[in-house]
Chains A and B, each alone.
Chain A
Amino acid sequence: DGGITQSPKYLFRKEGQNVTLSCEQNLNHDAMYWYRQDPGQGLRLIYYSQIVNDFQKGDIAEGYSVSREKKESFPLTVTSAQKNPTAFYLCASSIDNRNTEAFFGQGTRLTVV
């Protein structure tokens, strides 16, 4: 089945640690996105990538980093510089950036302990 797989489903981070969230898609989509979801707020764009080896900052990129070495994979690293990382993180993909009809993974809930 085609889709987007995020792992892990739950992640706990100690203060000062970097953690990496995985996102893999087998939809052959060029564009991939990372969003953050907080209670009572709309999804906010962290980073996006239109093509392999290319990515741009979204609206709330500070404290996050990404890579896009393969078309299928777009991992997100939450660094210690992110002051409030506890949130629900969603990865999405679309055919390309001109068509943002996006399909989402099941999310990773990150909690700082």
Chain B
Amino acid sequence: EDQVTQSPEALRLQEGESSSLNCSYTVSGLRGLFWYRQDPGKGPEFLFTLYSAGEEKEKERLKATLTKKESFLHITAPKPEDSATYLCAVQAVSGGYNKLIFGAGTRLAVHP
């Protein structure tokens, strides 16, 4: 069964304290792994797409990496404005169509 698990569920950091969020997945033939940021009461905002093991992408203080079984979202020297829920999703094939399977997310709180 295709599945996405994110850890930890919640993470509290001090401003400037770097850390990583984990997304482990099981899917038959990975066609893409996606990271989103979601602020409370808002829709998810697209961050990155990764397609193959070894691929890395960066945006400001965020860096996403991909292996054959998991992806990491590294946050370097975070600021309070990085506080949000980070969602991971994989593209899977089901019933002849492509769909996204989402993890439950990691709630990140960065304190000054």
Interface residues of A (CB under 8 A from B): 4, 6, 35, 40-45, 48, 50, 56, 58, 90, 92, 97-107, 109
Residues 27-74 of B at the A interface (beta carbon under 8 Å):
31-32, 34, 36, 41-46, 49
A23 CB → nearest B CB, Å: 11
Asked if B42 and A100 sit within 8 Å, CB to CB, the answer is no
A10 to chain B, nearest CB (A): 10
Give me the 9 closest cross-chain CB pairs, A-B, nearest first.
A42-B102, A104-B43, A43-B102, A106-B43, A100-B91, A104-B44, A107-B43, A42-B104, A100-B98
- Please name all residues of chain B whose beta carbon is closer than 8 Å to the beta carbon of A98 when the two chains form the complex: 98
Q: Let me know if B99 is at the binding interface, CB within 8 A.
A: yes
Q: Are B46 and A102 in contact (CB under 8 A)?
A: yes
- Secondary structure at the B interface, as helix, strand, loop or mixed, is strand
User: Do B97 and A42 have beta carbons less than 8 Å apart?
Assistant: no
A-B contacts at CB below 8 angstroms, number: 61
Q: Determine if B99 and A42 form an interchain contact, defined as CB atoms under 8 angstroms apart.
A: no
Decide if B75 is an interface residue (CB 8 Å cutoff): no
Write the chain A residue with the least CB distance to B88. A42
**Contact A41-B98, Cβ < 8 Å, known A103-B46, A109-B41:** no
Cα separation A88 to B90 with both chains bound (whole Å) = 21
Q: Residues on B close to A: CB < 8 A?
A: 4, 31-32, 34, 36, 41-46, 49, 87, 89, 91, 95, 97-105
Q: Choose from B41, B97, B104 the contact partner of A56 (Cβ within 8 Å).
A: B97
Given contacts A42-B103, A101-B34, is CB(A48)–CB(B97) below 8 Å?
A: yes
Q: With both chains docked as a complex, state the minimum distance between the C-beta of A22 and any C-beta of chain B, in angstroms.
A: 14
A43-B87, A50-B97, A56-B97 given as contacts; is B46 within 8 A of A101 (CB)?
yes
Cβ 8 A contact of A45, one of B42, B43, B100, B105: B100
A53 to B45, CA, bound (A): 28
Contact status A42-B43, CB under 8 Å: no
